[in-house]
Amino acid sequence: MRALFGRKIENIVDLREDRKGWCQMELNYNVKGERRKQLVKALEEIIGTKSEYMGVPTFAYRIGRVMVDRAGTVTNEGTSIEVFKNAAIALSLRGFQPEGGLEQAGIRVKGEKVTIADAAAADSNKVTLLEIQMPRDMFTEKGLENLKRIVHAKGDLIKKAIGTDDLPLNFEEDTIGFPWFPLKGDADEVAHHEKFIEALCRMAINQKRVTAKAVKSENEKYDFRCFLLRLGFIGDDHKTFRRYYLRNLSGNAAFKRVES
């Protein structure tokens, strides 16, 4: 994995999107006290992440993206139903059964209650998203503000270029996540997206002034090509990258004015 100013890109993870937002899921285990602590311990082992006790007012435990509330309800936001299903199966092997048993357990997805099996079948049609995470401490407050301004100003072109509807920024204590990229199965797409985020962050950190004004493009390919050049993707070495990022855009990359 490449480094940015000597700092490696923290992580690349797959997420799922149902084209309307992140999947939010829950299973009720109805456990309290010591049994709830055992459930949390089991999830630590399954997920491979230490839990964090949230204290008042929720009295919940957080294990990565999973939450266990005071009544033993397990919720998961931002990962695939398949991952959540596998965690539920692993819990059942450790003696934890959700309401109704594992096969008929009600899993709540975006407010609708369905069985795990039905949810997993529906999830097979979802788009796999790539999230690229960068170290948060490499940004000053000015750098973070610049990043938000760049994303706002170039958001429409970025969204069309990568084929997504939204450009959220996931701010965690140690990382900033970019869960933007639908994976199509292209051989070099992960490397291309990684390079793009690396360059975007470099611009945000180094720019002294950034405009936040979004302007409607009359020639998408030309305007975004100019942006890619500003990001540093100049010359024949980056020709394949530029072609990849311009493929979904309209217009002419070589000429600013396009004859109607």
Residue written as token pair 């975006």: 110
For 64-78, what is each residue's pLDDT tens digit?
Answer: 878 899 999 988 765
For 213-256, what is each residue's pLDDT tens digit?
Answer: 667 777 888 889 999 998 999 888 898 999 999 988 887 766 66
Q: What is the pLDDT of residue 31?
A: 93
Cis preceding-peptide flag for 179 (omega within 30 of 0): no
Predicted structure pTM score:
0.54
- Confidence grade of residue 39 (pLDDT, cut at 50, 70, 90): very high
Locate 53 and state its tokens: 């006790």
Locate 158 and state its tokens: 């970025």
The per-residue DSSP string of 159-171 comes to HHHHT-S----EE
79 vs 165, more confident: 165
The per-residue DSSP string of 100-146 comes to THHHH-EEEETTEEEEHHHHHHHHTTSEEEEEEEEEGGG--HHHHHH
Mean pLDDT, range 31-36, rounded to an integer: 94
Where do the domains of the chain lie? 3-14+127-246, 20-123
CB of 244 within 8 A of CB of 190?
no
Q: What is the pLDDT of residue 65?
A: 78
CA dihedral 217, 223, 224, 230 (to 10 degrees): -140
- Confidence grade of residue 114 (pLDDT, cut at 50, 70, 90): low
- Cβ-in-10-Å burial (0-12, 13-18, 19+) of 152 comes to middle
Query: Out of 33-37, 88-92, 120-124, 195-199, which region has the weakest mean confidence (pLDDT)?
Result: 120-124
Q: What is the pLDDT of residue 166?
A: 87
Residue 33 predicted with pLDDT over 90: yes
